[in-house]
Every structure is written in structure tokens, then in C-alpha cells.
Amino acid sequence: MATAPVRVTDRCAGCGACLLTCPTHAIRPLGGTLLVRADLCTGCAECVEVCPVDAIDLTDEPPAGGPRMTSRPYQEMP
């Protein structure tokens, strides 16, 4: 199974901001944690930007929907 280009780490404080911000609704609650659906995540990084505790990390997985769009430095961008 493909890995999403972002992942929610255990730093998550459960505020829900990323759920509300994600334009493709790729972040879903799952058993007390958050799952990022690789088939929906475009790698836009809006969730990374909005998280108040910096709990969402970019991974080195390419986004499903094309080039990653982010204002953050990212060494492994295609």
C-alpha cells in the first residue's frame, strides 16, 4: 500500500485543525489516531502549516496527484 506524502506523528494534540483544513479530506480519525489516506493526499502541506504543535511531517513519498506544493524547504522534491 502506498504511503501518504505526509504523516501525523505522536506529537499530535488532537485539536482537529488539520482535519478541517485538508482540501481533499485525506486525514481521517482512526482508532484514536489520525490516518492520512495516500489515495487522497496531494502533498499540498496545508496540514503541516496549520498544525499548532508541528506534529505533521513530510515524508519522502511522492504525492499521488502531482508535484508537491509547499513553501517549506524540502530536499527530496522531484
The C-alpha atoms of residue 44 and residue 31 are separated, in whole angstroms, by 25
Nearer to ligand SF4, 50 or 77 (CB): 50
Q: Which is nearer to ligand SF4, 52 or 75 (CB)?
A: 52
Residue 67 is a binding residue for ligand SF4 (CB under 6 A): no
Q: Is 20 in the site for ligand SF4 (CB under 6 A)?
A: no
d(CA 63, CA 68): 6
Q: Does 14 interact with ligand SF4 (rule: CB under 6 A)? A: yes
Sequence-distant (≥ 6) Cβ neighbours of residue 31 within 8 angstroms: none
